[in-house]
Amino acid sequence: MREETIRISQEELQRQRDFARQVRCHPDRPKSYYIVTYGCQMNAHDSEKLAGMLEEMGLEPAAERTAADFVLHNTCCIRDNAERKALGNVTWLKEVKKERPDMLIGVCGCMIQQQEMAQKLLKQYPFIDVAFGTGNLYRLPEYLWQAVSNHERVIRVENEASTLAEGLPIHRESDIKAYITVMYGCNNFCSYCIVPYVRGRERSRRADDIVREADELVKSGVKEIMLIGQNVNSYGLDSDEGVSFAQLLHRVSQTGIERIRFMTSHPKDLSDALIDEMAHNPAVAPHLHLPVQAGSNRILQAMNRRYTREQYLEKVQKLRAAIPHIGLTTDLIVAFPGETEAEFEDTLSLVEQVRYDSAYTFIYSPRKGTRAAEMPGRIAPDVASARIERLIALQEKITGEVLASMRGEIVQALVEGVSRRRENQLTGKTGRNINVNFNGAPDDIGKMVRVRITGAGSNTLRGEKVEE
């Protein structure tokens, strides 16, 4: 694996734009595209860049994947089921391609960046036309050009994950909310996690590039920006700019953006300066996603998380003291190798103690090449399922109680659209990132409005608009 950051040069990006122009002028080019995205926000945002590049090549979005000339799967490999789902869908498309032989099938993203994947695709998936990893995403124009002009399979899995490409075109999914990547990659090597292997080393974008992007978004009418990275709290540590994540957050808020969120935060890197910025900057949403993973110190150590249960709880206490209305969410893994019943119960008790707004819960999934995959003490699937069910039931109870306790509060909601359930209802997101439904007219869509909470369902709030 290459360690150093490779900044993609302007000449190289111009070369890619030239390929894009050549594809656009080629009579046999695909005319429409459909991107199937798996996984996290980083992937969702990469798909916006892929869409931007495809549109630069003259392709238009297709309404459904079976109608598209080019179907690109942007994959995830964080757990075995994510990988199986992607490969299952790609294989299903093989049948569609039999009817439409001109269809091009592409696969990219984290799954492709894994060791030996290129060999596997070449041998077992002959119907895949284009494949590339996360590090060479910016080369899509070149790959599509090769596929279109030479009618060849383009399987380009290069061992270079740590690239940083500025200025790619972006087709954004929403004009109300937008992602900005602040850093790529991860250096933490949690023992269960494949991300550092497939996304490369931590590399931060320049603060000026980020602020410029935020500024343009504000000018275009965007109301909420989410700063994303695998571990945003270590923003800047790999560069000599001397801008910390707390300072970056401050600078982005000076663009006049109405609301800023960020994810994901590693508890070990959550600084007092960041807590302070969150507490005093009204643009920063009162929400923090702070994955804890487990409640037992022995398991946390085996996971290489580099904090103890006590240190985590101390951070939670500091956050709540500084920002009394903060909503916390988390990620939890059950059935890590060797996890005893008592250690699992430590996770339950931690969840009870913190009282998260919500949690993503996962059964541990061994990933080839990670340290945990070699650890003894695999937990039987029925035990793992029983544990996750207990954990989910506990978190559902807490979510219900937390939401019910919000009755009577007045919150700021960013109105995202019409409710799926009822026509005259709008749906918005509170600062704590909870959905709230309330009566209203479509001209409020895209605005920040004040809503009084009148009730709660299992994971949404009900409310009424407070007229100014």
Binding site for ligand 5AD (CB under 6 A): 78-79, 192-193, 291, 293, 331, 333, 362, 364-365, 367
Give the ranges where 104-256 is alpha helix by DSSP (H). 117-124, 140-150, 195-199, 207-219, 245-253
CA distance 173 to 170: 9
For the CB of residue 336, give the shortest distance to ligand 5AD in the complex, in Å: 8
Does residue 360 belong to the site contacting ligand SF4 (CB under 6 A)? no
Does residue 51 belong to the site contacting ligand SF4 (CB under 6 A)? no
For the CB of residue 160, give the shortest distance to ligand SF4 in the complex, in Å: 19
DSSP-derived secondary structure for 200-217: -S-EEPPHHHHHHHHHHH
> Which does residue 186 bind out of ligand 5AD, ligand SF4, none, counting CB within 5 to 8 angstroms by kind?
ligand SF4
Does residue 231 belong to the site contacting ligand SF4 (CB under 6 A)? yes
Asked if residues 169 and 52 have their Cβ atoms less than 8 Å apart, the reply is yes
Q: What mask of x and - would describe binding to ligand SF4 in positions 261 to 280, judged by CB under 6 A?
A: -----x--------------
Does residue 370 belong to the site contacting ligand SF4 (CB under 6 A)? no
Does residue 195 belong to the site contacting ligand SF4 (CB under 6 A)? yes
For the CB of residue 230, give the shortest distance to ligand 5AD in the complex, in Å: 9
Contacts of 100 (CB under 8 A, 6+ apart): none
Angle at 356 between CA 379 and CA 317, to 5 degrees: 110
Size of the site for ligand SF4 (CB under 6 A): 10
For the CB of residue 394, give the shortest distance to ligand SF4 in the complex, in Å: 22
Q: Which helix (H) or strand (E) holds 23?
A: helix 10-25
> Which does residue 37 bind out of ligand 5AD, ligand SF4, none, counting CB within 5 to 8 angstroms by kind?
none
For the CB of residue 75, give the shortest distance to ligand SF4 in the complex, in Å: 16
Contacts of 388 (CB under 8 A, 6+ apart): 334, 335, 361, 362, 363
Residue (203 or 266) nearer to ligand SF4, CB: 266
For the CB of residue 399, give the shortest distance to ligand 5AD in the complex, in Å: 18
Q: What is the DSSP letter of 262?
A: E
Beta strands in 88-173 (DSSP E): 104-109, 130-132, 154-156, 163-164
> Which does residue 228 bind out of ligand SF4, ligand 5AD, none, counting CB within 5 to 8 angstroms by kind?
none
**How many residues are listed for the chain in this entry?**
468
Q: What is the DSSP letter of 9?
A: P
Site for ligand SF4, residues 282 to 301, rule: CB under 6 A:
none
CA distance 341 to 167: 50
Closest by alpha carbon to 330, among 358, 362, 311?
358
What are phi and psi for residue 461, nearest 5 degrees? -105, 155
For the CB of residue 68, give the shortest distance to ligand SF4 in the complex, in Å: 31
Residue (190 or 326) nearer to ligand SF4, CB: 190
Q: How far apart are the first and last CA of the chain?
A: 57
**Residue with nearest beta carbon to ligand 5AD:** 331
> Which does residue 365 bind out of ligand SF4, ligand 5AD, none, counting CB within 5 to 8 angstroms by kind?
ligand 5AD
Q: How far is CA 106 from the centre of its chain?
A: 21
Site for ligand SF4, residues 151 to 190, rule: CB under 6 A:
186, 188-190
Residue (231 or 419) nearer to ligand 5AD, CB: 231
For the CB of residue 440, give the shortest distance to ligand 5AD in the complex, in Å: 34
Report the interface residues with ligand SF4, using CB under 6 A. Answer: 186, 188-190, 193, 195-196, 230-231, 266
